[in-house]
A and B are shown apart, each in its own frame.
Chain A
Amino acid sequence: MDKEEVKKKIAEKFGDKVQIADRSEKRVYIYAENEIWVDLASFLFNDLDARFDTGVGIDDRDGVEVMMFFPFDKEHYFVTIKTFAKKPNPELDSISPLIPGAKWIEREIWEMYEVNFRNHPDLRPVLRSDTRPCDFYPHKRENKDKHEMSRNKHDGQERADEVAGRPVKGQNP
């Protein structure tokens, strides 16, 4: 389906619940409110016949931005839908009951960013090993910052110990 027609149909159906940004000839980005997230995905996949590709999570100070890609292959362009799951408890409805191909990517976004996908048929870690702590979400900015700060602090202490001639922690004296 033609890009302009898709934009028009989405704007007609969802009104002010969506904001459409036409970035280039082949890329359309649509920001959607949480409550229409599944309806919008369903409209693209079932009614407009888009293909489901994958999703991305991006952590922000106030929440997690979740986006899903729906390419229109015959017309050579991508529609990307985005929404914002607010902190402290980011939550979204799952699109997996509708599109089984979204199961793993939603599981990944949950385990990396702690976005709870409601109605997901099997929400458990997909990439995490058994040994990683279950309440650690590696892509969350606070965890990244914590990791960064503790590492720098430790490095600084090691250097200070070395300069002062004290035994460096973790090394044999």
Chain B
Amino acid sequence: MVKKIPIGPFHPILEEPEFFELHVDGENVVDIDMTIGWSHRGIEILSESKTWDQVPFLVERVCGICSCSHPYAYVKAVEDLLQVEIPKRAQYLRVITAELERLHSHLLWTGLAGHFIGYNTVFMWTWKYREPLLDILEAVTGNRNHYAMMRIGGVRRDIPETQFGMVRGMLDELWKKNDMLTNAIVDDPVIHARTKTVGIFNKDQCRLYGALGPTARAGGYNVDARRDHPIDAYGELDFDVIVCENGDVFDKAVVRQLENFEAIKIIRQCLDKLEAMGPMKDDSELCMEIGEVPPGEGIGVYEAPRGEVLHYIRSNGGNMPMRHKIRAPSFNNILTNEASVPGNTVADAGLITAAVDPCYSCTERVGRVDVNSGERYLLSEGDLIKLSAEKTEEIRRQLGM
């Protein structure tokens, strides 16, 4: 007997799947309907059955790429409730891990965006440059992802001074590569023609839709939790918030590329501060002692690579959260597609939905409805990439390149 195994609408190995139904008139998108929640894992409820110290382990697994951002926001929420300030060394160590994560996340996106518009060289270059970053993360935290650095009151481990040289060397090298990559993107006429004025999302729309991170800053909406709600050492570090004004796909790419330089600057400053502090004397420099968590509530925010992540916790005085709310930036950013996709073509729709940097499988399948005939059919990931790459080729031909 033949059995049918349904797979989809999400890819079985990638996270955060979404399903987009595009309403099209010919090639033009006139409306979009989005469905999320295909892999709802009930993490909030799970978290409410874990002890305060077990939760970072769980929330690290909300997202593989943001595996520092979620525990960071969670520990800040608990520390907000407790009203404590953690040791200085731990603050710098937290910031270093978080900024290394931002670098690898932004490079990952740039590579995928390159692949999506048919620039596979960009894809291979950026992922090649990203690899030493993951090696560094493995060296300093023990893991390429799921770093397990955060704990309430501090961090789990120190970065010894012997590793500073290795980290600095990698950052110097990455600065040059990122510079080259940024110039290649900014100077390329085909990328200009392919991404400028595509998927515009302006400042007023950003405010109405609560857009966050590079999605908002590309449209001129100047929000960055690292500056606006400074936590730990961020208040004393020198860095710029990158803001563009057009809100198209090109600006979203530029914001991410330039943010890489700022992340490198931040890490260098933290390494300088740690060097000035000298070697660690005892464990109290890593983590302070935390007693019982009293009844109350706390809000923790942190600027993840995709935007501000917010964790809210409420305690009833027990050994686990009574309520734990997690809001990832993609929850706000994916909704912005509602305003940025209509008015563009099907070939651009995949690019625009990917430009908010959700996880890749978001563009796995797209339903297409012809508004005139009512005909429905599905586009796969391959179809979308093909459409997008064909459009780039067409532009290249028109420009005589």
Measuring CB to CB, which residues of chain A are less than 8 angstroms from any residue of chain B? 23-24, 26-27, 29, 51-54, 56, 58, 69, 71, 73-74, 76, 78, 80, 99-105, 125-129, 138-139, 144
Contacts and interface: CB of A to CB of B under 8 A. Distances in A.
A99 B209 CA distance: 7
B36 A53 contact: no
A116 B383 CA distance: 40
Given A53-B327, A101-B209, A104-B331, 20 more contacts: A23-B296, A54-B327, A54-B332, A56-B312, A58-B323, A69-B310, A71-B229, A71-B301, A78-B299, A99-B210, A100-B208, A100-B339, A101-B208, A126-B37, A127-B36, A127-B37, A129-B37, A129-B38, A138-B45, A139-B45
Interface string B192-231: 0000000000000001111100000000000100001110
Contacts of A105: 327, 331
Contacts of B301: 71, 78
B225 to A, nearest CB: 8
Contact of B299 (A52, A69, A128): A69
A76 B80 CA distance: 14
A27 B291 CA distance: 22
Nearest to A27: B299
Interface of B: 36-38, 40, 42, 44-45, 80, 83, 207-211, 223, 228-230, 296-297, 299, 301, 308, 310, 312, 314, 323, 325, 327, 331-332, 335, 338-339
A103 B37 CA distance: 15
**Most A CB within 10 A of own CB, among B36, B80, B299:** B299
B310 A53 contact: yes
B325 A74 contact: no
Q: Across chains A and B, which 8 residue pairs bring their CB atoms closest together, nearest first?
A: A101-B210, A127-B37, A73-B228, A56-B325, A54-B327, A101-B209, A127-B40, A52-B210
A143 B40 CA distance: 17
**Most A CB within 10 A of own CB, among B40, B207, B230, B325:** B325
Nearest to A74: B228
A105 B42 CA distance: 16
Contacts of A27: 80, 299
Given A52-B210, A58-B314, A129-B40, A73 B299 contact: no
A36 to B, nearest CB: 22
B208 A128 contact: no
A80 B223 contact: no
A76 B335 contact: no
Contacts of A101: 208-211, 332, 335
A71 B228 contact: yes
Contact of B210 (A53, A58, A80, A129): A53
Contacts of A80: 299
A73 B37 contact: no
A24 B83 contact: yes
Contact of B208 (A69, A99, A125): A99
B291 to A, nearest CB: 19
Contacts of B38: 129
Nearest to B336: A101
B210 to A, nearest CB: 3
Contacts of B323: 56, 58
Contacts of B208: 99-101
B36 A126 contact: yes
Nearest to A102: B210
Contacts of A51: 207, 210, 223
Contacts of B327: 53-54, 105
Contact of B40 (A58, A69, A103, A128): A128
B170 to A, nearest CB: 33
A139 B45 CA distance: 8
**Most B CB within 10 A of own CB, among A58, A101, A127:** A101
Nearest to B44: A139
A144 B42 CA distance: 12
Nearest to A25: B83
27 contacts: A53-B308, A54-B310, A54-B325, A56-B312, A58-B323, A69-B310, A69-B312, A71-B229, A73-B228, A74-B228, A76-B229, A78-B299, A78-B301, A80-B299, A101-B210, A102-B210, A104-B332, A105-B327, A105-B331, A125-B37, A126-B36, A126-B37, A127-B37, A138-B45, A139-B44, A139-B45, A144-B45
